[in-house]
Structure 1
Amino acid sequence: MSGIQLFALHSPYGLMTAVAALDAGLLGDAAERVLVPMNTAAVPETAIDLATAPAYTTLRGRFDRIEPLNALIDPLHPTDWHPDEQDLPLLGRLLRRAWGLGDGEVELFVQSPQVAPARTLMALFDRARLGVIGDGLMTYSPIRARLPRQITERVARVVYPDVVAGVEPLVFAETDALRVPVPAPAFGAVLREAGECAPDDALDALVDGGSRTALVIGQYLAALGLVSAAEERAMQMAMIDRVAGAGAERIVFKPHPAAPPSGIATLAERAADRGMAFATFTGPQPAEYAALRLGATDVAAAFSSALPTMRALHDARIHAVGAETMLARLTPYENSNRMPVTIVDAMTRGIGEGRMQQLVDTVGYAMQPEIVAHLRPRAVQFLASSSDAERERYVPAGRLRALGLPGAPAPTVLQRLSPRGGVGRLEELRLTAAGARRRAGRVWKVARGR
């Protein structure tokens, strides 16, 4: 490929993935590489701006030029950018002119391809070769909605950090898109580069090579409606207990940026009760780099992408606390958090590489049985060889029954009457009987000459 490569990226993890792939020589040659950074946060002022953040100065240097999206489409928010279909050809030409792309070949890399602005850009560049840049564990999920063939047929590759060793992600698995794993060492080198580009005095002050340090990551699950605030606090207390049991001597807690500060004192008291020192880190450095800089021996969270990343890069012990609760609570079943929770839970339960791919394929099929229908045989094989407890943990009985998969419980009388819950089938039988009575009545009237 000798044309122009566009990288439309919205997260630091995605930027680091793209740069690591470039450094490893995985994306071929290009006449020019253009970074199109975008801020898709609901409140952009509170999020890291990839176009200007000091930590990513050297990473931005891998590109020939920077063309920020937000300023171009202002006052529209990028996630609200849904042009009318009839305007797409015009806007596509205007973008090519605004970004100096000419009429040559373009390869467009995006994140989160199922939603705007990525989906909009893929439609605007209607002749471009397409690629997906992975953004953590979400990449292992199948795409949430079937996209038009005009888009899916152009997706050529999916690029992702290989932090879940040997397991391939399912995004666009229904196409012929090539999987391009970025070696963990290459990703780790870029992660360190970004962290060292903008040293954080607050983080440096927490470095203590003489103590076994655990990093506990807050994800603010209550804000997502997944658990109550009290339940989330209890999960974080359990994380402290878990790393204490693993031998950690002190804890550094990295709260979610949106989390209220009120609960931190409670966590500090719990650490003190367990005989451990306690500190907090609220800086902008990602959790993955914070763990590296601290030399953390243990990392605990509910289902953060930092867990598999740190095990791959630093051989840290990882602890998923509350994952089983999350698996049971997530609704609907195809909730986009399900695959990250599944992977982290399985990794911390010792499920090996080969079986992990089977599990990912099985959960992916159960999430989107129409989009990744080709995975059904693998799902059947995995579930047939699983224990009842394992099946129930990852694919509950109702889902097994709905998809006709191994391990589904025998239906009740009511369920046999209706695959939709009983009432529908009973009503169908009632209406059928009523129709038969009406037809018999009409026949009787004709027979009597009425």
Structure 2
Amino acid sequence: MDPRTRKPVQIFQVSTLYGAATVAAALDAGQFGAREDARRLLLVSNNAEIPETALRLEEMTGYDRIATRFDGTIDWNDAIRPHHPGTWAPRPEETPLWQRVFRTAWDLGDGPVELVVESIQVNPAKALAAVFAESSVEVYADGLMSYGPTRDELPQSIGCRVRRLLHLDLVPGLRPLLLAETGVEPELVPDDAFRGVLTEIAEAADGDRLVAEAVAAAPTALLLGQYLAALGILTADEEEELHVRMVRGAAAAGHRSVVFKPHPTAPVRYSLALRDAAETAGVRLTVLDGPLLAETFYERCRPRLVVGCFSTAMLTAAVYYGVPVARVGTGTILERLTPYENSNRVPLTVVDHLVPDLETGAAPAVPGPTPETLAPLVRAVGYCMQPKLHPRLREETAALLTDRLGEESTARYFDRERLGRLGLPGGDAPRPASRLRRGLVRSRA
């Protein structure tokens, strides 16, 4: 019998190089056992709105280094073509058929399959969990979203199979809310293992022309773009202005040479607007728009400042490289972010609460010990986002709101209409239509 029919197969689903680096670090730290104990496959998905026009993960500098840890790779987009990875899922009655198809196509044999996925509450991870219905599921968190609640309630058939949540210690001491409702225990990916993988990825950039040009400019600050317009949070013009504010803020802080790292899907016009702003401010601007992680630049150039809105790369700079960070525009995003349960809310809250505001003149800093105020705030925001998933947090949330909602530093994180609908302190009275709906629900009950 083929030994692969007896040997477990571990399928690691990734869509970003940062996520792949997290998985690689966990593997290096032995968190998935010895390599010879299982056949390891890397399943790559391109979740961009139009995958055919987006940068492929395989094109990112350093991907080849990550891929050596696996016995093979699978292209999920090809496997389900012409469907989109973000929307395709098999019908329940078809899952056994799809499992047979994938076992044959990927040469899995008939042995056990273990899934390691990101964002289990959405496709493609959710689709994989449905297809391999008997498989154990382990989740790794790609950045700051691990500290927020699960986006949607998981089907019991999936939730009961999740064994653990692997995450980076981006905010030391802060416990993730993600999957907490399932009782799953979070497990840290060791800092030294993750930093080692980032160093390995940076080494792959040896000889890269864009990196060499950026280093030659002797920049002291790195500005991070996120392309929030793609998420509908800002308009393209507003995001362009946000990046211009980063340039002005860096210039006001005394930096004369800066690098801008745009989001891979950002339009070219962003760079053009920044060049005009940099020229006006008397700042030398270098645009680092290659297929690179921002962390590769940290390794190569060691900037004295990293500026962003609420990018995970800001906390990576502070925690793993000791680089001071500053934020721009979080107040605007807090006002704009809808719906309240938007998964970006907790990353935004964390950065807004921990990182100095560059435009107020606050000195950029490496956040020190996590303040005692952060964990209760994150739990309260998380409860207001997903109250059905975390009913035990209601009393704690009500107490925090009673004590601190009068403070501007707390009120900015809560929506009074949302608080009113939840019957929490500080909430606006429900609108007449809302009261009518609630009355109808009670009468039907």
The residue that corresponds to 1:134 in the other structure is 141
1:36-55 mapped onto 2 (5 Å cutoff): 36-51=43-58, 53=60, 55=62
Alignment correspondent of 1:374 = 392
Question: Quick check: 1:333 aligned with 2:340?
Answer: yes
Correspondence for 2:307 among 281, 300, 303 = 300
Letter in 1 for 2:211: L
The alpha-carbon distance between structure 1 residues 8 and 240, as it changes in their structure 2 partners (threshold 3 A), is same
Q: Structure 1: which amino acid aligns with 2:124? A: P
Q: Deviations over 1:20-70 (max 9, x none)?
A: 111112233442222112222222233343456562112111112222222
Aligned with 1:310: secondary structure?
helix
2:4 — aligned with what? none
User: Is 1:187 paired with 2:198?
Assistant: no
Q: CA deviation at 1:423?
A: 4.5
Partner residue, 1:403: 422
Q: Find the residue that maps to 1:67 and give its secondary structure.
A: strand
Match of 1:204 in 2: 212
Structure 2 letter corresponding to 1:10: S
SS at match of 1:248: coil
Work out the percentage of aligned pairs sharing the same amino acid. 40
Root mean square deviation of aligned Cα: 2.5
TM-score normalised by the chain length of structure 2:
0.86
Change (3 A) 1:428 1:166: closer
Q: What do residues 330-377 of structure 1 show as CA deviations (whole Å, max 9, x unaligned)?
A: 111011221221111112156934432222211111111101223324
Provide Cα deviations, 1:63-87, integer angstroms capped at 9, x if missing partner.
1222222222222222232211111
- Residue by residue over 1:262-319, the C-alpha shift from the partner in whole angstroms, topping out at 9 and shown as x without a partner, is 3434433433444432221111102222233221111111111111111111111111
Would the aligned equivalents of 1:38 and 1:78 in 2 still touch at CA under 8 Å?
Answer: yes
Find the residue that maps to 2:114 and give its secondary structure.
Answer: strand
Partner of 1:394: 413
* Correspondence for 1:445: none
Tell me, in whole angstroms, the C-alpha distance in 2 between the residues paired with 1:127 and 1:14: 25
Q: What is the letter of the counterpart of residue 128 of structure 2? A: L
- The answer on whether the counterparts of 1:208 and 1:294 sit within 8 Å (CA) in structure 2 is no
Q: Does 1:24 align with 2:29?
A: yes
Map 1:325-364 to 2 at 5 A: 325-349=332-356, 352-364=370-382
Aligned residue number for residue 441 of structure 1: none
Secondary structure of the corresponding residue to residue 80 of structure 1: coil
1:309 to 303, 316, 322: 316
* 1:90 aligns to 2:108 (yes or no): no
Report deviation, 1:152. Answer: 0.2
Which structure: larger Rg? 1
Q: Deviations over 1:125-150 (max 9, x none)?
A: 11111111212222322122112101
Using the TM superposition, give the Cα deviation of residue 204 of structure 1 relative to its aligned residue in structure 2, in angstroms: 1.6
Decide whether the 8 Å contact of 1:291 with 1:299 is kept in 2: no
SS in structure 1 of the partner of residue 139 of structure 2:
strand
Structure 2 match to 1:446: none
Shift of 1:207: 0.7
Moved more, 347-356 or 93-102: 347-356
Aligned residues: 418
3-state SS, counterpart of residue 86 of structure 2:
helix
Structure 2: which amino acid aligns with 1:231?
E
The correspondence for 1:228, drawn from 222, 229, 235, is: 235
- Residue in 1 that maps onto 2:14: 9
Unpaired stretches in structure 2, ≥5 consecutive residues: 1-6, 357-366, 440-445
Which residue is equivalent to 2:359? none
Instruction: Tell me the alpha carbon deviations over residues 195-232 of structure 1, each in whole angstroms, 9 at most, x when there is no partner.
Output: 322432111221148x5511112222234332233332
Give the superposition deviation at 1:98: 2.7
Q: Post-superposition, which runs of at least 4 consecutive aligned residues in structure 1 deviate over 4 A? A: 51-54, 423-429
Match of 1:36, SS state, is: strand
Partner of 1:218: 225
Q: Which amino acid aligns with 2:383?
A: Y
Q: 1:385 to 1:104 in 2, by over 3 A?
A: farther
Q: Are the counterparts in 1 of residues 61 and 292 from structure 2 also a CA contact under 8 Å? A: no
User: Are residues 126 and 212 of structure 1, via their aligned partners in 2, closer, same or farther at CA, if it must alter by over 3 Å?
Assistant: same
Letter in 1 for 2:419: L
Secondary structure of the 1:376 match is helix
For residues 301 and 205 of structure 1, what CA distance do their matches in structure 2 show?
A: 22
